[in-house]
Chains A and B, each alone.
Chain A
Amino acid sequence: MKLVLLLRLAARNVARNARRSTLTALAMVIGLALLVFSRALADGGHEDWIRGAVRLGDGHVVLESPAFARSRDLADRLTPGALAAAERALAAPALRPLLVAAAPRLEVAALATAAAAAVPVAAVGVDPAAEARFSTLPGKLTEGRFLAPDDRGAAYVGDRLARRLGLHVGSRFVVSAQGADGQIADQLLRVVGVFRTGLPDADEGLIQVPLATARQWLGTGAAATAVALLLRDSHDVDRAAAALGAALAGRRDVAALSWRAAMPELDSAVKLDDDGDYLMHGILFAIIGLAIVNTMLMSVLNRSREFGILRALGLTRGQTGAIVFGEGLLLTAASGLVGLALGAGATWLLFRHGLDYSALMKGNITMAGAVISPIIVPILGPAQLLQSLAYIAAVGVLAALYPAYRATKLDLVEAMKFDA
């Protein structure tokens, strides 16, 4: 019962000193709003990078032989048996709602030659229909068309490679690589389309050919080096990888690898960006926290006479401290709700179509295999919002501890002497 009374006193104190409370709360509200906004922006940006990178690469989760992950050698490709097991695992009902597309690939390091030029490339045999759903590459077309399901001997090449080899739509060139039997095999290809991603490594070093053509060229039969999976949401990666891992348990020739393991560069970059953000927020909240400690402390010392009267009326030291702590809690709670609403509201209202900072970024910037888009759509996720709320709650509570402690230390007689 006493606790309710103390809380009521605390609430009354907060309400009565509207100006003081507002100033203290304002710092927390703005800090929280900023936090929510920047988290949403960061999450949106990361989702963008990840999506862009995995769609140009090996997807959110890739099914491949563990040996292939290390060697990237054609000899470690998925055998027809392993491929069949992978396809069965993909059909699992648990996986269906998470999956957007599954694209089989047969990838080999090859040399592309034309006229007097020879350029090392990654030649990837793809299933055109699956690839169109999975990858952004078909969308980066600048000339000609993407591969069609019944193409034979066709090639989809990057614009820098086309320039180096002097190719246009319709030109022919040769790729050479070591086939399944260990011998060098050549394949004549005809360019049907040219793409530009903005990533030099892709534009100069990647060609896509129909899966059937690649299989015939390299003599691998109905095999693939990997099956790349695109999920609806990058947050489902761990769930999907676990489900697939369980379905493929016991097989040593195929495993599910998340993009984090397959693209450690990107993982590193995202983590570093996140940690940089956390650092900034930590700094901001340290400053806010100090401000709160100061103002709460002064408000305690200014009201020493008032607390003196309460003590004279029978409240203990601990209860006095509890009132001050309660004031801090109430302020924090109110600031939390307002800050959250303000941050989420402003973010959604102002930027739901994306924050465009192309003024800052004139060209393209690539990072860890992704092209950074200058338009970021912030993502407000419930988990992140709660996390931000918890963050500010922690700061508010910690900041209230010292002033509450000081309130318990007020000497009754001294307090009554001074005219507050």
Chain B
Amino acid sequence: MTEHPWWRIGRRSLGRNRRRTVITALGLAFGYFAVVVLIGMMLGIVSEMVESGTGIVSGQIQVHAADYLPDHSVYATIGGDAGTPVGPLLDSIAADPAVLAAAPRVYGGGLVSTGSATAAASLMGVDPAREVRVAQLATAIVAGRLPRPGERALALGAELARRIHARPGDTVVVVAPAADGSLGNDLYVVAGVFKSGVQPLDAGTALLPIGVLQTLMALGPDRIHEVAVKLADPYAAPGVAARLARRLPVAGALVQPWTVTSPELVEYAGMMRASNWIVLVVVFGMAIFGVANTLLMATYERRREFALLLALGAAPRHIVRTVVYEALAIGVVSLLAGAAVTVPVLVWWHRAPLDLGRLFSDFTLAGALVRPVLKTDDPGAWSYIAAAALLVTALAAAVVPAFRAARVPPADTLAGR
């Protein structure tokens, strides 16, 4: 036996009443499991939101002319009125190791009509090969295909297509104000239909090959409004944006990460962090009650033992230590049990998320699409925070019972009074 037996006595006291220990440990383990899995889910939701908020169309970094936002003026092209060679610009961006792909865009607005119906739409000029690597929108084709470069064709949002009764193969007229003040119009073939899940896109957007839209809007081939950039890690955006800005081969352009252009999303992620803390505090706060209650009654039951220890010459602080060690032992056991269940569940729900799509529909939050698919993210530091909280709970719960235990009057207790 070690020189100080208090840890041994505390630890072994767990076995005195198996059922009670099991129930207590169950409560703590369950609390840990619940907190960590909940946080994993909430982090997963935020991750998905960042993915969808930036991945569907806007990209994690955007490059514009400094005066482009917020007016989206047709004239404010990157590099001013003369524009800039697009190829070298894209190459310089794509050269950065953190960048997966970059795609150029031209934006306009106009009317799209079939013979029987007309609707207003945002017109987006894209480079199909690059676009599919940056925006999920370009890969969300449900009928037909994306238009090819130079082809006088377009892809319509599903809702828009339905409204004007257009199907792949049909011809539509597009009318749009051009940069020279005139009204451009031309005929296009519907190459395909896309469905992103985001209502404004599906109901009001048409994709055209970038050169074709530039021609319609009387913009030269060097004039683009935006470059959208896809990164491997969305959270690296601010640093990468700063880096790109330094090496951009064109003057007067702004390189902005999503954290600047979608402040709502950032706001929401911050709120999520705060609510994680609340969950932690509330759950473990309640658990403290449960454990304290149990320990209090347990120490009352064992008052003879404590009286004996005092009679044998142990000091009151030793009694306090036995109770505290017992609580710590329960904490450790609960933590191991809780972690043993939590880790597999987190991995399981990360690989095969719970799909609540049948109970809930998608909705937008903070400008991003939320799909009720509960994919858990790695809680990271939160797992350790929760573990610490669990141990703190166990210890905090032991405080009052420990001090009460040390105040047992040895003579009276041993005599049975």
By a beta-carbon cutoff of 8 Å, the part of chain A in contact with chain B is 20, 23-24, 26-27, 30-31, 34, 71-73, 109-111, 113, 115-121, 160, 163-164, 166, 176-178, 182, 184, 200-201, 205, 264-269, 271-272, 279-280, 283-284, 286-288, 290-291, 293-295, 297-299, 302, 360-369, 419
Q: Are A298 and B361 in contact (CB under 8 A)?
A: no
- Of chain B, the residue at the smallest CB distance from A34 is B282
Q: Which residues of B contact A205 (CB under 8 A)?
A: 200
List 28 interface pairs A-B (beta carbons < 8 Å), by A numbering.
A24-B293, A27-B286, A111-B120, A113-B177, A116-B74, A116-B179, A118-B177, A120-B109, A120-B122, A120-B204, A160-B70, A163-B70, A178-B117, A265-B363, A268-B372, A279-B38, A280-B282, A283-B30, A287-B27, A287-B31, A288-B286, A291-B289, A294-B290, A298-B301, A299-B297, A367-B364, A367-B365, A368-B363
Q: Which residues of B contact A34 (CB under 8 A)?
A: 282
Cβ of B121 under 8 Å from chain A: yes
- Contact status of A364 and B264, CB under 8 A, knowing A31-B286, A268-B372, A297-B20: yes
Partner of A182, one of B116, B122, B289, B362: B116
Q: Are B27 and A291 in contact (CB under 8 A)?
A: yes
Q: Are B24 and A271 in contact (CB under 8 A)?
A: no
> Can you list, as one digit per residue, whether each of B17-54 has a CB less than 8 Å from chain A (1) or not (0)?
00110011011001100100010000000000000000
- The 3 lowest CB-CB distance pairs between A and B, nearest first, are A291-B290, A111-B120, A118-B109
State which size class the interface on B falls in.
35 or more
- Of chain B, the residue at the smallest CB distance from A266 is B363
Interface residues in B136-185 by Cβ distance below 8 A to A read 162-163, 176-179, 181
Partner of B113, one of A120, A178, A264, A368: A178
- One of B2-10, B124-132, B265-273, B346-354 contacting the partner: B265-273
- Contact status of A368 and B27, CB under 8 A, knowing A116-B181, A294-B20, A362-B267: no
Cβ of B73 under 8 Å from chain A: yes
Q: Are A73 and B267 in contact (CB under 8 A)?
A: no
Q: Which residues of B contact A121 (CB under 8 A)?
A: 120
- Contact status of A119 and B109, CB under 8 A, knowing A298-B301, A366-B366: yes
- Contact status of A291 and B294, CB under 8 A, knowing A110-B120, A120-B122: yes
Q: Which residues of A contact B301 (CB under 8 A)?
A: 298, 302
Q: Are B176 and A268 in contact (CB under 8 A)?
A: no
Interface of A is mostly: helix
Q: Are B271 and A361 in contact (CB under 8 A)?
A: yes
Q: Which of B113, B119, B179 has the most C-beta atoms of chain A within 10 angstroms of its own C-beta?
A: B119
> Can you list, as one digit per residue, whether each of B294-319 has a CB less than 8 Å from chain A (1) or not (0)?
10111011000000000000000000
Q: Which of A110, A117, A291 has the most C-beta atoms of chain B within 10 angstroms of its own C-beta?
A: A291
Q: Are A284 and B290 in contact (CB under 8 A)?
A: no
By a beta-carbon cutoff of 8 Å, the part of chain B in contact with chain A is 19-20, 23-24, 26-27, 30-31, 34, 38, 70-75, 108-111, 113, 116-122, 162-163, 176-179, 181, 200, 203-204, 263-264, 267-268, 270-271, 274, 279, 282-283, 286-287, 289-294, 296-298, 300-301, 359-367, 370, 372, 416
Please give the distance in Å from B113's CB to the nearest CB on chain A.
Answer: 7
Q: Which residues of B contact A201 (CB under 8 A)?
A: 200
Please give the distance in Å from B282's CB to the nearest CB on chain A.
Answer: 7
Partner of A287, one of B111, B286, B366, B416: B286
Q: Which residues of B contact A291 (CB under 8 A)?
A: 27, 289-291, 293-294
Q: Which residues of B contact A120 (CB under 8 A)?
A: 109, 119-122, 204
Partner of A272, one of B24, B267, B360: B360
Please give the distance in Å from A396's CB to the nearest CB on chain B.
Answer: 14
Partner of A164, one of B72, B179, B289, B365: B72
Q: Are B267 and A361 in contact (CB under 8 A)?
A: yes
Q: How far is the CA of A268 from the CA of B203 in the complex (A)?
A: 20
Q: Which residues of B contact A279 (CB under 8 A)?
A: 38
Q: Which residues of A contact B119 (CB under 8 A)?
A: 109, 120, 178
Partner of A184, one of B108, B118, B267, B366: B118
Q: Are B110 and A298 in contact (CB under 8 A)?
A: no
Q: Which residues of A contact B24 (CB under 8 A)?
A: 290, 294
Q: How far is the CA of A20 from the CA of B297 in the complex (A)?
A: 8
Q: Which residues of B contact A294 (CB under 8 A)?
A: 20, 23-24, 27, 290, 293-294
- Of chain B, the residue at the smallest CB distance from A74 is B117
Q: How far is the CA of A256 from the CA of B109 in the complex (A)?
A: 35
Q: How far is the CA of A248 from the CA of B193 in the complex (A)?
A: 38
Q: Are A118 and B363 in contact (CB under 8 A)?
A: no
Q: How far is the CA of A367 from the CA of B31 in the complex (A)?
A: 30
Partner of B293, one of A27, A117, A361: A27
Please give the distance in Å from A261's CB to the nearest CB on chain B.
Answer: 11
Q: How far is the CA of A397 from the CA of B25 in the complex (A)?
A: 22
Q: Are A111 and B109 in contact (CB under 8 A)?
A: yes
Please give the distance in Å from B270's CB to the nearest CB on chain A.
Answer: 7
Q: How far is the CA of A200 from the CA of B286 in the complex (A)?
A: 41
Q: Which residues of B contact A361 (CB under 8 A)?
A: 267, 271
- Of chain B, the residue at the smallest CB distance from A165 is B71
Q: Which residues of A contact B367 (CB under 8 A)?
A: 200, 366
Q: How far is the CA of A293 from the CA of B181 in the complex (A)?
A: 79
Q: Are B118 and A178 in contact (CB under 8 A)?
A: yes
- Of chain A, the residue at the smallest CB distance from B364 is A368
Q: Which residues of A contact B359 (CB under 8 A)?
A: 271
Please give the distance in Å from A280's CB to the nearest CB on chain B.
Answer: 7
Q: Which residues of A contact B108 (CB under 8 A)?
A: 118
Q: How far is the CA of A266 from the CA of B279 in the complex (A)?
A: 24
